[in-house]
Amino acid sequence: MNLETEYPIRTEKLSKKYIKSKFALNEVDIRIKSGKITGFLGVNGAGKTTTIKLLLGLLEPTSGKAYIFDEEVKSEKAWLKKYIGYLPEFPRFPGFLTPVELLKIYGEFYGMEKGELSNRVRELLNLVELSDVENKKIKTFSKGMMQRVGLASALLNSPPLYILDEPTSGLDLLGQQLVKNIIRDQNSQGKTVFMSSHLLKEVQEMCSDIILLHGGKVLWSGEIKELLSSNINTNVRLNVDRTDETVKLIKDLSFIKSFTVNGNMIDMVVESQDNIPEISTILVKNNIKIYEIKIETLNIENAVLNLLKGDESE
């Protein structure tokens, strides 16, 4: 056990095969950097939830290993969960309990002392804005409220690592903002966050790193800025006065992948944004008036889609 490790989460050729099905996870190697917020992306059925369950010891791997703070995950090592705050995608809690009762019982599972636990429960219910319903039974709660209870339960013993499965799912805009702020706040305290999400904009907004899982394999992993600046084509739209002449000038340029003409508009796909000054220089030299150059900034959605399409075409 090493809380100072560079990678609080690490897997080595982690695989999971369910009975009578193909591999849900196939030799996955991931490393989550300490103190960072890492997004875990993938289409439905990519293997995200399976990975998370393997990290928590809720499932046994078919082969390979998972490590939390350099300690190999085994179902019998329940004590490892003291160091993980987990929020499932669909948090479900016993409906006969109130949030106060539930959090106190969970706190006792962590071995927390009575006085400390009572204060922490009040503090957390305030934080997730459930203080006014603290004595109502959970069975009367909406999905969003359940999500807040789940978050409070994950934060209960202030662990150094959070594994959050779709943390803003089922929340309204204010709820989403609240959860994002809590995650950022925990990260600012040096906590590591590993969160799965299908909301790519949310991931771009919150995370510094991402792991993209597809078909049970890691398709891409690294920093988001690296993904966005990597060698992925850029879309450019030109509005010029003489399209025919423009086409003649640009058609043989090696960095132009394709183009289509639509009236005065030329839509091009170029290798990178760095090619645009060269295009404009050529056009200006040939007295072509440029009314507009519109660059479609590559966002994470396009980048991920390109990766997924690329993987499927292979």
Partner 1 sequence: MKVNDFKTFTKKLKALLKYDFYRNIRSLRIIIAFVLVLAIGIILAVLYGFVLKVNKSDIFIMSILYLGESNIVPLILGSLLTMDAISAEFEKGTFITTFSKPITRKFYYFGKSFSSFIYLLMEIFLLSLAAFIISFVFFGNQGKIDEAMIILSGSVLTIFFYATFTFALSAIFKNSIASFFITFGIWLALDIGVGLYSILYGYSLWTFLTPLVGETFIPIALADAYKNPNAIFKYTIFKTYNSGMTNINFSFLIVGVNILYIAILLIAGYIFFLKADIKEQ
Which residues bind to partner 1, rule: CB under 8 A? 49, 53, 56, 58-59, 75-76, 78-82, 84, 86, 88-97, 101, 105-106, 108-111, 150, 153
Answer yes or no: are the C-beta atoms of 134 and 99 closer than 8 Å: yes
**Closest approach of partner 1 to the CB of residue 13, in Å:** 21
**Closest approach of partner 1 to the CB of residue 84, in Å:** 7
- Concatenating the DSSP letter of every residue in 18-29 gives -TTS-EEEEEE-
**Closest approach of partner 1 to the CB of residue 111, in Å:** 4
Of 191 and 270, nearer to partner 1 (C-beta) is: 191
Of 75 and 119, nearer to partner 1 (C-beta) is: 75
Instruction: Show the tokens assigned to 203.
Output: 């991931």
Of 104 and 240, nearer to partner 1 (C-beta) is: 104
**Closest approach of partner 1 to the CB of residue 95, in Å:** 7
Of 42 and 88, nearer to partner 1 (C-beta) is: 88
Of 92 and 225, nearer to partner 1 (C-beta) is: 92
**Closest approach of partner 1 to the CB of residue 18, in Å:** 8
**Closest approach of partner 1 to the CB of residue 238, in Å:** 50
Answer yes or no: are the C-beta atoms of 41 and 210 closer than 8 Å: yes
Q: What is the dihedral of CA 148, 41, 29, 73, to 10 degrees?
A: 20
> What is the spatial distance between Cα 156 and Cα 243, in angstroms, rounded to a whole number?
63
Of 7 and 93, nearer to partner 1 (C-beta) is: 93
**Closest approach of partner 1 to the CB of residue 184, in Å:** 22
Please give the helix or strand (H or E) that residue 13 lies within, else none.
strand 9-17
Distances (CA, A) of 118 to 108, 121, 202, 257: 11, 5, 33, 63
How many helices (H) and strands (E) would you count in the chain? 10, 15
Answer yes or no: are the C-beta atoms of 60 and 73 closer than 8 Å: no
Of 8 and 221, nearer to partner 1 (C-beta) is: 8
- Concatenating the DSSP letter of every residue in 263-303 gives TTEEEEEES-GGGHHHHHHHHHHTT--EEEEEEE---HHHH
> What is the spatial distance between Cα 212 and Cα 202, in angstroms, rounded to a whole number?
15
